C-alpha cells in the first residue's frame, strides 16, 4: 500500500565534492573533453573512435569509449528504438559522458544519435567548451554498401523498424566541430584532424 508519492525532485540535493574536476585534470595532465561522434550506421564512428583512443592512449591521455552497441547490453538494455527510447538513450549517455569528463577523462562517444535536439541537449549539459561534435558524414549509399552488421538489409526487408536512414530520419548536424567522410578521407588524415581539435 502506498501512502504518499516519493517527491524526488524536492528531496535530493547536490553533494559538494572536495576533489574538483580541475584537481583531476591536473593529475591526468590534460583537460576532460567529450568527443561526440554522430552519423549513420556503418559510417565509421566506432572505427574512428577506436583509432583515436589508441592514439590518445599512446600520448598518456586518460580515455574511455562509450559505444552505442556496448551500452545497449547494459545501461540501455531496457530501451527499444522508438523516437522516445532513442532520446532517453542519448540522455543517459550524455549524463554518463559528463560524469566521466568531470573525472578528467577524454570521453569518446560513438552513437548514431539521429536527432539534433538530443545532440544539442548533450552539448548544453557537457558545455560548449568541452563538447566536440564530429559528424561522420559518410553517405547512406556508402553505409548501405558496407552494411557491416547486415542491418540495412533487414531494414529494407521490413524486419527492422525505425532504422536511421531507412525507416527513421537522421538529422544532419548544422554546426559540427568537424566533418569526416570516411569514403573520401583515410584514417590517418582523419586522426590528424581529430588530434588537432583535441590539442
Query: Which residues carry out catalysis?
Result: 113
3-state secondary structure of 156: helix
Residue 46 known to bind ligand: yes
Coil, helix or strand at residue 108: strand
State yes or no: 41 annotated in a binding site. Answer: yes
39 is in an annotated binding site: yes
Residue 45 assigned to a binding site: yes
| Residue 127 · residue 83 · CB < 8 Å | no
- Is 44 annotated in a binding site? The answer is yes
Q: 76: annotated binding-site residue?
A: no
d(CA 63, CA 111): 17
Q: Are 65 and 37 in contact (CB under 8 A)?
A: no
For the chain, how big is the Rg over CA atoms in Å?
18
Could you give the count of Cα atoms lying within 13 Å of 47 in the half-sphere of its Cβ?
17
Q: Is 193 annotated in some ligand binding site? A: no
In the annotated binding site, the residues are 39-46
In the annotated binding site for ATP, the residues are 39-46
Amino acid at each position: 500500500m502506498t501512502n504518499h508519492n516519493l517527491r524526488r525532485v524536492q528531496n535530493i540535493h547536490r553533494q559538494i565534492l572536495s576533489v574538483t574536476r580541475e584537481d583531476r585534470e591536473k593529475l591526468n595532465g590534460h583537460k576532460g573533453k567529450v568527443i561526440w561522434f554522430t552519423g549513420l550506421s556503418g559510417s565509421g564512428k566506432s572505427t574512428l573512435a577506436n583509432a583515436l583512443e589508441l592514439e590518445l592512449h599512446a600520448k598518456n591521455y586518460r580515455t574511455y569509449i562509450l559505444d552505442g552497441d556496448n551500452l545497449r547490453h547494459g545501461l540501455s538494455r531496457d530501451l527499444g528504438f522508438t523516437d522516445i527510447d532513442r532520446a532517453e538513450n542519448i540522455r543517459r549517455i550524455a549524463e554518463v559522458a559528463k560524469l566521466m569528463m568531470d573525472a578528467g577523462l577524454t570521453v569518446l562517444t560513438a552513437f548514431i544519435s539521429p536527432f539534433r535536439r538530443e545532440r544539442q541537449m548533450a552539448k548544453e549539459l557537457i558545455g560548449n567548451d568541452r563538447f566536440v561534435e564530429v559528424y561522420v558524414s559518410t553517405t547512406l549509399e556508402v553505409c548501405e554498401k558496407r552494411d557491416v552488421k547486415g542491418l540495412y538489409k533487414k531494414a529494407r526487408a521490413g524486419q527492422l523498424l525505425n532504422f536511421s536512414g531507412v525507416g527513421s530520419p537522421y538529422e544532419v548536424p548544422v554546426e559540427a566541430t568537424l566533418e569526416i567522410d570516411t569514403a573520401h578521407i583515410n584514417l590517418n588524415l582523419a586522426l590528424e584532424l581529430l588530434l588537432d581539435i583535441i590539442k
